[in-house]
A and B are shown apart, each in its own frame.
Chain A
Amino acid sequence: MQFFIEVLIAGLLSGVMYSLVALGYVLIYKASGVFNFAQGAMVFFAALTAVGLHDLGLSLWVAVPLTMVAMIVLGLVTEKFVLRPLVAQPEITLFMATIGLTFFVEGLAQAIWGASVRGLELGIADVPLEWLMEVSGMAISQFDLIAAGIAAALVAGLALFFSRTKVGRALRAVADDHQAALSVGIPLQHIWGVVWAVAGFVALVSGLLWGARNGVQFALTFVALKALPVLILGGFTSVPGAIVGGLIIGASEKLAEVFLPPLLQQLFDTQMNLGGIEGWFPYVLALLFLLVRPEGLFGEKIIRRI
């Protein structure tokens, strides 16, 4: 039981970090109706740039703001050269364009910084919490806890930003109806710029957290890809959905990774090594979920009119 709780908590903590990545997708989708597949590549780009600058001898306090500038530039360039020419195209065309963008950004990051794995040290040790160990005997990573805390704070902050501020209101108006937002005088380009910048910021923070945890490498894009099942569960437009979806995915994949193999081995009576279940479990879970509830946990049921 204790082991179960330990796994569950570890899963939930990484789930918070999935939520953070997923939030980047939600922001852009809500504001511009674009499902930005390249968000994962942006996470990778941000982490690699920050760590690359750091390795050049800059302190993190300089490297991270510089990276932020790079992310904003990347966002603005994307908005101008990829999305604006494709305005009013079908959603699916935009989606495919962002797949192209994914390749471009991944290639760009590696062309600048090389393809080797880099370590990132944020100054938070990845050791079990001692007091918790003493009290309950459970090993919960200190890093995971702090990272989840940062992610949670960011998610909450963004949620507040969008529900309480003027920019947030404008953004929600834009998400609802571009034309109507324009007609009441909301500067559309400006709002999109803000959104891409915020999405870049989210990518940066997730990139740093995940990068420090797993090393800054190409595999980060696969972590970011896991935001997709999170979104399927939570619905593409819902911030609370992204949070809950992230927690579910994080917890269930860890539980599946630890507890499914023995079960399967028993079931099929083999000694096969069945590790790596967490690589596909979120997707299959999302797929099964879609069969039951296509609109997601928090999405609205759509009545189609003809």
Chain B
Amino acid sequence: MSKKSGEVILSFDNISLSFGGVKALTSIGFDVREHEIRAIIGPNGAGKSSMLNVINGVYHPQQGEIVFRGQKRRGMNTYESAKSGIARTFQNIALFKGMSVLDNIMTGRNLKMRSNFLLDAIYWGPAQREEIAHRKAVEEIIDFLEIQHIRKTPVGRLPYGLQKRVELGRALAAEPSILLLDEPMAGMNVEEKQDMCRFILDVNDQLGTTIVLIEHDMGVVMDISDRVVVLDYGKKIADGTPDEVRSNQNVIDAYLGVAH
């Protein structure tokens, strides 16, 4: 546990987000430390995905402050956050359905590519060398995720569990320092969940990637995460280690309901 308590690299203060009149997030504040696995949990509609969307700049909070690597900002933007090493997966798989697994994962490396479209068009010398070098890096990810056999298959044809894995691969291809996972295990069977857990732990362990994840499977969350923040109706109701959260009265009420 000690190696994991790194510096705080990302913190939120008083984040509020609403759509029209609907409040999605109200005064949320928490932080993420380097190298840890940080889980966000909560009942449906608690604002978990909105929170991830705030982190990588898809949504812009109306209020609040984000401090990322010591820099204060009002909101993130998608390009900047990708550029500074935040990658993510989506709750409803957001792969590029018309492209092969290999191409999908290759897209994850786009920010590392130097070549321009003219060189690409000629595909000679540096452009080809670069393409091949990135292909090599992507093949390592493919090996790691054990999806060699489907590398040339269009992702639209793959079963759900494999698609989730490819999506993780695409995020990993960017060699992120922070990885946001939105329900990486939703809809999986036990075996697939175990595989996914292993991948997540391996990434965290071997590459030191900070992971922020949303997950409904409490067993998994309590097993793998270092700290857990709990949202309910857009508000934070608890924050702490799995053990602390488990015994928190607010959390129990939110999940089990409370007698009035």
Contact = CB atoms under 8 A, between A and B. Distances in A.
Tell me, yes or no, whether A and B come into direct contact in the complex with CB atoms closer than 8 A: yes
Interface in A257-306: 303, 306
Interface in B63-120: 90-92, 94
A306 B58 contact: yes
B19 A306 contact: no
B26 interface: no
A154 to B, nearest CB: 36
Interface residues of A, number: 2
Contacts of A303: 19-20
A193 B200 CA distance: 53
Interface in B1-44: 19-20
Contacts of A306: 49, 53, 58, 90-92, 94
Nearest to B50: A305
A55 to B, nearest CB: 51
B17 to A, nearest CB: 12
Interface residues of B, number: 9
Contacts of B90: 306
By DSSP majority rule, is chain A's interface helix, strand, loop, or mixed?
Answer: loop
A230 B20 CA distance: 28
Contacts of B19: 303
Contacts of B58: 306
A66 B90 CA distance: 56
A306 B59 CA distance: 10
A237 B152 CA distance: 41
A306 B53 CA distance: 9
A189 B53 CA distance: 41
Nearest to A301: B20
B13 to A, nearest CB: 25
Nearest to A306: B90
A63 B48 CA distance: 64
A306 B88 CA distance: 12
A88 B58 CA distance: 28
A280 B92 CA distance: 42
A303 B19 CA distance: 8
A303 B53 CA distance: 13
A303 B20 CA distance: 10
A88 B151 CA distance: 29
A295 to B, nearest CB: 14
A30 to B, nearest CB: 23
A212 to B, nearest CB: 47
A89 to B, nearest CB: 14
A306 B49 CA distance: 9
Interface in A129-162: none
B243 to A, nearest CB: 33
A303 B17 CA distance: 13
Interface of A: 303, 306
9 contacts: A303-B19, A303-B20, A306-B49, A306-B53, A306-B58, A306-B90, A306-B91, A306-B92, A306-B94
What 9 A-B pairs come out closest when comparing CB atoms? A303-B19, A306-B90, A306-B94, A306-B58, A306-B53, A306-B92, A306-B91, A303-B20, A306-B49
Given A306-B53, A306-B58, A306-B94, 6 more contacts: A303-B19, A303-B20, A306-B49, A306-B90, A306-B91, A306-B92
